[in-house]
Amino acid sequence: MSALPRIPIPREAKIWVAGHNGMVGGAIVRKLREIGCDNLVLRSSKELDLTDQRATFDFLQSEKPEYAFIAAAKVGGIWANSQAPAEFGWINLAIATNAIHGAHLAGVRKLLYLGSSCIYPRLAPQPIRESDLLTGALEPTNEAYAVAKIAGLRLCAWYRRQYGDDFIAAMPTNLFGPGDNFHPEKSHVLPALIRKFHEAKLSGAPEVIVWGSGRPLREFHYVDDLADGLVWLMEHYSGEEHRNIGTGEEVSIAQLAKMVAETVGYSGRIVFDPSKPDGTPRKLMDCSKIHAEGWHHRIGLREGLEKTYAWFLEQKESGLRGW
């Protein structure tokens, strides 16, 4: 496989970023502005409810964006997913069908839909290749989210096959960075640990509780680096198969906790709570295809952690987010 040629997004093109107030959508907007794309169509979830089919179709018909990044989703960590499967299922299914079919009807020239590595089989061979999708049973803690995201991913392939629409899908890994959710229960592990260690440092707490055994392995990707890769895919990749996009590097939750403690400057004990679920034992993505095609990540976990902690502190100081 050789590096793919670039077909640049015209700088004046009208681009819809669905979910721009979320962590991923926000990073895509930053990246697009950085490369000079300013003709962005952005709607908050209050302005446009993507689960409302009529509203979504009408919006797309009147705006007629040329490019679309579908980063809108109901997301959450292991606990939030397992508590609200109906919501995670129906909302993500509705967003996928409304945005993708609406984009088809409105003649969107190119669309990128985002999946997530947790939609691969729970016990997929590691590192997980694109072709491992739909080859085994899903992880039960996020089955609803996974089924909805698989539907969105496959819809892109079917619209390409039946109508020739240039719709592609990307499979990011566990993401983190500015704009993340730092809620103590509903967030993903990395922001949850930043918050826990930060608060423990301030209060002088002797220990911090980390959920599960500490043994699960995860791959973490800094969201602005992901956005670079998504824009790269938009400009280089067209194909029915989705693309894995990550760092190809993994750490255990115990190692992550140690790294977060070091970044935050917390020196107390780290205690594991095995009564909380571990989730998938391991999910490392095989990124050899996107590497061969010409994209590689640049920001590693340590650097991303420092940037994210700096952002978290800024938000605390501004008092805007109410954490």
Among 118, 153, 264, 270, binds ligand GFB (CB under 6 A): 118
Asked about 309 being catalytic, the answer comes back as no
Q: Is 77 a binder of ligand GFB (CB under 6 A)?
A: yes
Is 277 one of the binding residues for ligand GFB (CB under 6 A)? yes
User: Tokens 């034992």, residue?
Assistant: 281
| Angstrom distance (rounded) from CA 8 to CA 250 | 32
Least separation in angstroms between CB 7 and ligand GFB? 30
- In the complex, minimum distance from the CB of residue 85 to ligand GFB, in angstroms, rounded to a whole number: 11
Residue of 67, 113, 120, 145 marked active site: 145
Is 145 a binder of ligand GFB (CB under 6 A)?
yes
What is the closest distance, in whole angstroms, from the C-beta atom of residue 82 to ligand GFB in the complex? Answer: 8
Interface residue with ligand GFB among 97, 174, 244, 263 (CB under 6 A) is 174
98 binds ligand GFB (CB under 6 A): no
Rule CB under 6 A: choose which of 92, 141, 244, 263 binds ligand GFB: 141
From residue 198 to residue 227, what is the string marking binding to ligand GFB with x (rule CB under 6 A)? ------------xxx---x-x---------
Q: Which C-beta is closer to ligand GFB: that of 32 or that of 253?
A: 253
Name the residues annotated as catalytic: 145
| Residue ranges that bind ligand GFB, judged by CB under 6 A | 77-79, 81, 116, 118, 141-142, 145, 174, 187-189, 192, 210-212, 216, 218, 253, 276-280
